[in-house]
A and B are shown apart, each in its own frame.
Chain A
Amino acid sequence: EAGVAQSPRYKIIEKRQSVAFWCNPISGHATLYWYQQILGQGPKLLIQFQNNGVVDDSQLPKDRFSAERLKGVDSTLKIQPAKLEDSAVYLCASSPGLKGVGYGYTFGSGTRLTVV
């Protein structure tokens, strides 16, 4: 089975610019997660989708971050404007459903963002 696909793998932007990341989850997975992993730390959940609806976005900095999951499949995460502290790896994960914890919860390889 194909894994979680993310693109781009790397991105370097200047502060105050905008950037977008794309995620294609495993086919049939209803739940999709975006995590932010700052260097030397564990991943932190930004937003969780169930199909095309948001389940949890309590830790998403909504003044600059936005995410959508059109048609309950692919998802994009956008940052506008970017700050230096947004430099991190952005991980996408998917699972079969709300009972997904422990059931096929799979991470992509991530997008490494550097803001200069």
Chain B
Amino acid sequence: GENVEQHPSTLSVQEGDSAVIKCTYSDSASNYFPWYKQELGKGPQLIIDIRSNVGEKKDQRIAVTLNKTAKHFSLHITETQPEDSAVYFCAASRAGGTSYGKLTFGQGTILTVHP
């Protein structure tokens, strides 16, 4: 089955700096890669996603890049703010068969933004 590795496990930055989180996946059939933000006591919330037919996607301060050949994708947050502090998860999914809709998550990155 799919395996997703996420690095780093913790990331500490100063307000205004950029933060980058990287993930690799094992299943070349995976074609959908979402990123989730999870705050304490809450469920994961989708912040951005990318599909395998796209190499990069941006939404204001957040961007995601995908390298299908190398099977890795990254989350980039620019101009970080204290409210960006949370746990971030990458995930991968593929269409077809019974796995359609199943998300395989990375281990998570604890992002701390210091004022």
List the interface of chain A (C-beta within 8 A of B). 4, 31, 33, 40-45, 48, 55-56, 58, 91, 93, 95, 98-102, 105, 107-110
Contacts and interface: CB of A to CB of B under 8 A. Distances in A.
A98 B94 CA distance: 12
Contacts of B43: 4, 91, 93, 107-110
B105 A101 contact: no
Contacts of A56: 98-99, 102
A110 B39 CA distance: 12
B51 A102 contact: yes
Main secondary structure of the interface of A (DSSP, over half): loop
A31 B101 CA distance: 9
A41 B107 contact: yes
A98 B101 contact: yes
13 contacts: A33-B102, A42-B105, A42-B108, A48-B101, A55-B101, A56-B102, A101-B32, A102-B32, A102-B51, A105-B34, A107-B44, A109-B42, A109-B43
A14 to B, nearest CB: 24
Interface of B: 4, 6, 32, 34, 36, 41-46, 49, 51, 89, 91, 93, 95, 98-108
B34 A102 contact: yes
Contacts of B32: 101-102
Nearest to A103: B101
A101 B100 contact: yes
A42 B107 contact: yes
A56 B107 CA distance: 22
Contacts of B103: 43, 45, 101, 105
A106 to B, nearest CB: 8
Question: 7 closest pairs, A vs B, by CB?
Answer: A42-B105, A107-B43, A56-B98, A101-B93, A109-B43, A107-B44, A100-B101
Contacts of A109: 41-43
Given A43-B89, A56-B102, 5 more contacts: A40-B108, A41-B108, A43-B103, A48-B98, A99-B100
Contacts of A107: 36, 43-45
